[in-house]
């Protein structure tokens, strides 16, 4: 059971307004696609940024930017799920939101697929994994910076080899096979992680600290 945070803990984050992108799902028995966000995100944000407002953004292309602007969004989370290239409407939405955020110096966190989106947008690429260390497992991080956990969950099917990292990005942690697990864009508040902070139980101290550093309103 989640206990509401004391008001004194909510105060630093009450002006944070985050937009979260959503995955595309196929509705069984219905000829339609639906946008979805894992309920894990609501629980994680309640702990990491108590008092912050957050908005799930539909896969509406440029319309997603208009929605973010209408709600005065000042932080962007590109969430996981769906490989790049599978659902064009999601690709277009996240590309539009990322360029919008970059133009306004809005902090961006990319999680799993979201990290891959950032890399693609800045000129990098990915390749398919052969399973092993990345397929529904947990593994340690190597060559890691202090802000990253010692070990992480892993669910992704596409990996980011070091020579596939966009030239402007800096690696902050590697998987045991040498692929990139975390990175940042120097001089900007843009970070990508290949693990899922919202799926940790209990939530990792490093992940919570990252959210607070990126999205504390006085830094925005």
Mind telling me the catalytic residues? 112, 196, 198
Residue 220: which of 83, 49, 85 has the closest Cα?
Answer: 49
Tell me the residue ranges of DSSP E strands in the chain.
17-21, 23-26, 33-36, 53-57, 75-78, 108-111, 127-128, 137-140, 151-154, 158-159, 170-174, 180-184, 190-193
Residue 195: which of 178, 169, 174 has the closest Cα?
Answer: 174
């Amino acid at each position: 059971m989640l206990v509401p945070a004391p008001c004194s803990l909510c105060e630093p984050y009450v002006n944070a307004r985050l937009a979260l992108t959503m995955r595309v799902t196929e509705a069984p028995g219905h000829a339609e696609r639906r946008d979805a966000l894992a309920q894990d995100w609501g629980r994680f944000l309640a702990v990491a940024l108590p008092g912050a407002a957050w908005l799930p953004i539909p896969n509406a292309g440029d319309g997603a930017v208009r929605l973010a602007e209408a709600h005065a969004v000042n932080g962007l989370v590109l969430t996981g799920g769906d490989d790049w290239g599978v659902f064009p409407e999601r690709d277009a939405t996240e590309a539009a939101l990322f360029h919008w955020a970059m133009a306004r110096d809005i902090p961006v966190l990319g999680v799993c697929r979201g990290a891959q989106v950032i890399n693609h947008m800045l000129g990098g690429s990915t390749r398919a994994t052969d399973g092993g260390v990345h397929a529904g497992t947990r593994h340690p991080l190597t060559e890691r910076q202090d802000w990253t956990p010692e070990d992480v969950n892993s669910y992704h099917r596409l990996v980011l080899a070091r020579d596939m990292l966009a030239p402007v990005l800096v690696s902050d942690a590697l998987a045991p096979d040498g692929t990139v697990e975390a990175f940042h864009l120097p001089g900007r508040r843009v970070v990508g992680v290949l693990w899922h902070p919202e799926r940790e139980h209990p939530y990792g101290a490093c992940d919570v600290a990252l959210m607070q550093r990126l999205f504390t309103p006085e830094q925005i």
